[in-house]
Structure 1
Amino acid sequence: MITTTEIHDIKTATGLMRTTLYRPDTKGQFATIIFYSEIFQQTAPIVRSAAILAGHGFVVLVPEVFHELNPIGTVLAYDDVGKDKGNADKWAKPLEQHDSDTQALVDFARAQSFCSDKVGAMGVCIGGHLAYRAALNPDISGAFCLYPTDIHSNTLPCKEGNDSLARTGSIKGELVMVFGKQDPHVTKEGRKLIYQKLEQVNANFTWLEVNAQHAFMRDEGERFDAALALQMYLQAVAFFHRVLN
């Protein structure tokens, strides 16, 4: 499908959140995927990922995940300065604010004439964590989480007992969890901890571990694995067509 792009500034509990919307350029109603970016926000690789998903028949919302902490339109570079700033932002924003962002995105999607009432979540890196976190919201039917960071380590700020791993039992939608075995950010021990928690609460999930490094989906830089990325896009599209349509 040919796609079209729109910009929306969505009201949240913590201020306006610039969100880029990608959707099929045709009449009809489509399920929504909230696509959470890396710490760098909406970089060129994130734009391309969103366009790919939209081209398969979805409305895709890409929010600025750190909208409270940056001027509207901020995109960080893939360098040490950008990495340091992005990491500082992720350690500064409480998970509870991400929760209210997710609700605002769900409410926005359901108010659009071209959106069905079905909403899913997908993300990479911290965005994978935010997709997992979004699945705590009963309006999220499924989440596709690519190398999600900080779930196992509980290193993102939140109220005591409200970290994402501890809240796993509240997830009702279906999950797909994808990890690279060579990813230093989520060690074998960390992956085992998440898996055991999902098993403990009898979650509905698919678990994939692939021979890849962190950020293998990012089509810039030396860690990009084009073959694996293509597989993940195909699996994500099939997953969302099943759980959302």
Structure 2
Amino acid sequence: MTEMLTITPLDGKGEFAAYCARPQGTARAAIVVIQEIFGVNAGVRRKCDRLAEAGYLAIAPDLFWRLEPGVELDPDIAPEFERALGLMGKFNQDAGVRDIEATIRAARTALGGNGKVGAVGYCLGGRLAYMTAARTDIDASVGYYAVGIDNLLGEKNAIAHPLMLHIAGADHFVDAATQQQMHAGLDDHPKVTLFDYPGEDHGFATEFGKRRSDAAATLADQRTAQFFADHLG
């Protein structure tokens, strides 16, 4: 079952929407799905639906609500891709993490107050998944082809719960030097696991469109599923 939820931000000012996919029966846990720069589009909703099919309560908050509520963009359409880059440039990431925290709280309430909550994010959402791991009480987090992690390594000591990062080896937004910095900074962290996907580009695990690489997406998603099973139940 799917529905739209309304969530109040931590500061109590305004409200934002979130796509919610519910499993049949009792949810094993909840997972916050963190959007790319393209909004809560069909691909993000499909990610939620797949998680619900696996028994999780999945919630994807509209993190661009302060800029343009309800935006849905297609990365394969050049003008929409450019528009997405513009939104990312205006987006307040710190406020976004606070909105994710509000979503985590809503998810815990939906689970009856004592269930576990994880997060999975893609692109910008992968970066936000890392920030969420460092700044909130999330139980487990996964980031796919996260951008700019080298600028966030100073927060790594605050990561108290398991974090998995999938790194696209040929990511044209995350160069080889940055990937090396990620490994140098995080390989010895007891809560962090990094996986490399040589030759794969940014967006390889998208549900739809030209960027998808089936073999890499399947492998990464299998690892993510096992990670959540191990840490969320």
Q: Mark yes or no: TM-score above 0.5.
A: yes
The answer (yes or no) to whether the contact 2:32–2:59 under 8 Å persists in 1 is yes
Does 2:172 correspond to 1:184?
Answer: yes
Structure 1: distance between partners of 2:2 and 2:27? 16
Structure showing the higher helix proportion among its residues? 2
Judging changes above 3 Å, is the alpha-carbon distance between structure 1 residues 188 and 109 closer, same or farther for their aligned structure 2 residues?
same
The answer (yes or no) to whether the contact 1:135–1:173 under 8 Å persists in 2 is yes
CA displacement at 1:136 relative to structure 2: 1.6
Of 211, 216, 233, the residue aligned with 2:204 is 216
Moved over 4 A (4+): 113-116
Judging changes above 3 Å, is the alpha-carbon distance between structure 1 residues 110 and 219 closer, same or farther for their aligned structure 2 residues?
closer
Tell me the TM-score normalized by structure 1: 0.86
The residue matched to 1:220 in structure 2 has which SS?
coil
Of 49, 54, 57, the residue aligned with 2:55 is 57
CA deviation digits over 1:116-172, x for unaligned, max 9? 5211110111111111111123421111111001222x4xxxxxxxxx332121111
The answer (yes or no) to whether the contact 1:185–1:214 under 8 Å persists in 2 is yes
1:3-152 aligned at under 5 Å gives the runs 4-12=1-9, 13=11, 15-26=14-25, 28-71=26-69, 73-78=70-75, 79-113=77-111, 116-152=114-150
Q: Partner residue of 1:159?
A: none
CA displacement at 1:114 relative to structure 2: 6.2
CA deviation digits over 1:199-224, x for unaligned, max 9? 46x34121111131111111333331
CA displacement at 1:47 relative to structure 2: 1.8
Query: Aligned-pair RMSD on alpha carbons?
Result: 1.8
CA displacement at 1:115 relative to structure 2: 7.2
Code of the aligned partner of 1:151: I
Gapped regions of structure 2 (runs ≥ 5): none
Q: Partner residue of 1:158?
A: none
CA displacement at 1:77 relative to structure 2: 2.8
CA displacement at 1:177 relative to structure 2: 1.1
Between the aligned residues of both structures, percent identity stands at: 26
1:160-175 aligned at under 5 Å gives the runs 164-175=152-163
The answer (yes or no) to whether the contact 2:133–2:160 under 8 Å persists in 1 is yes
The answer (yes or no) to whether the contact 1:7–1:20 under 8 Å persists in 2 is yes
Tell me the TM-score normalized by structure 2: 0.91
Structure 2: distance between partners of 1:103 and 1:220? 28
